[in-house]
Structure 1
């Protein structure tokens, strides 16, 4: 009960931080979009576009948390926690789209450079940087505990780098008049985002494909189970994650009754998996030494 209560408190903390970050991001996004059109800066428009995806990512993350709160039912016995992973994957795809759009626009601008108001560009970018830094501070701790929050954090992180790039571009244009640097910075922002977006998408897909969670070595888990007194063999071992921080394991154990009761073995293995590997949901089937794999296969058939 306490573990579930703590998990709920963590999610509630994530939700509060996301609401604050959404308010800050959305408010400044409007000002930045207007400023991008006034100054004519593609780099600033790139930063504004990323801030827009920040706001969308934060909103989607909040929706995901609300959906994930729904209790398990007879149709979805594990509940709705995985919706958060779907949100993280969607955020990654959204970032891919924005990055490619900015790269295309940067190429177009390099062919026909536009006049840019560097002073306004600099002021707006500096304000944007302040907002990004505040949002990053809010989300940094929670990003390590939730892929959903991590998706939002990565978008704010990339936008922060974009703001720095825009500031540099504005200063260069102010002192040299090199308008083409605006498009170069916009393209650099796009290229910077792509590998981090791919990492987020890959992590999300690993959860959706029920892969072994990051940070867990299945060979180490199997060895730890085999080292438990009374466990003779381990087979049909599966480890996956419902969502960030909710790891699941199922396995069949062959046990020797002389070294302890089945219930004692189950209790010991379950507690060990939770303490050493942070696996919260464990389903184990204990089989006697006379139970062979072919009998198990016949039962499944």
Structure 2
């Protein structure tokens, strides 16, 4: 009976991991497509928030790819991958802040229709991915980082739509720049959270290896 229970637990764990793998592939494809859509729309529509969101889609696609690569590896390897993703989020946040500061002086007014249409499509795409990944939000730092990136995307998309209304109402670029700064702050705080969790997991992994070496 104990062996049978363990076998059933292993089967359940394998099925859960295989389901997670399929969801990551779906999320990867969606993010690659939306990156292409948003980067072209952001450049054409002169929107910093859309460009920020496009880079976020690209970063998420890379994150999903890394997560797929390390899914079957040890806790230490997954924690190192999480640290790599956290660094990419930090770079994203700093890049958006710099771009927003530059546009603050040049003050190009974004295209409201472009922001509205593309922002809505991005929100629907990210909401679908977030709904799929919701049940895996409390896993290890690797799963946690995937969930946080996806959650931040949904918040970012809502903020882009609010910026669209702001640009429409004021006729200026400042709502677009403000949203870009908020998205940057989300990326920076999430990256720090992931770095802390992955550091804890690396210490646990190192302790387990030391204990195994003594046996």
Distance in 2 separating the partners of 1:202 and 1:13: 27
2:67 aligned with 1:61: yes
Matches within 5 A, 1:39-54: 39-54=45-60
Structural RMSD (CA): 2.4
Match of 1:143 in 2: 137
SS at match of 2:84: helix
Deviation of the 1:10 alpha carbon: 2.3
Q: TM-score, normalised by structure 2?
A: 0.88
2:80 aligned with 1:86: yes
Contact 1:136 1:157 in 2 (8 A): yes
Deviation of the 1:81 alpha carbon: 4.4
Q: Which has the higher helix share?
A: 2
C-alpha offsets along residues 191-227 of structure 1, whole Å, 9 cap, x if unaligned?
122222211110001111228xxxxxxxxxxxxxxxx
Distance in 1 separating the partners of 2:139 and 2:208: 13
SS at match of 1:210: helix
SS at match of 1:82: helix
Deviation of the 1:89 alpha carbon: 1.3
Name which structure has the greater RCO, CA cutoff 8 Å, separation 6+: 2
Q: Which runs of 5+ in 2 are unaligned?
A: 1-5
2:192 aligned with 1:198: yes
Aligned residues between the structures: 209
Q: Which runs of 5+ in 1 are unaligned?
A: 69-79, 212-238, 243-248, 251-281, 286-301
**Could you say which structure has the larger radius of gyration?**
1
Contact 1:92 1:198 in 2 (8 A): yes
Contact 1:139 1:153 in 2 (8 A): yes
Match of 1:129 in 2: 123
Q: Which has the higher strand share?
A: 1
Deviation of the 1:104 alpha carbon: 1.0
Deviation of the 1:8 alpha carbon: 2.4
Contact 1:85 1:208 in 2 (8 A): yes
Match of 2:41 in 1: 35
1:105 to 99, 102, 109: 99
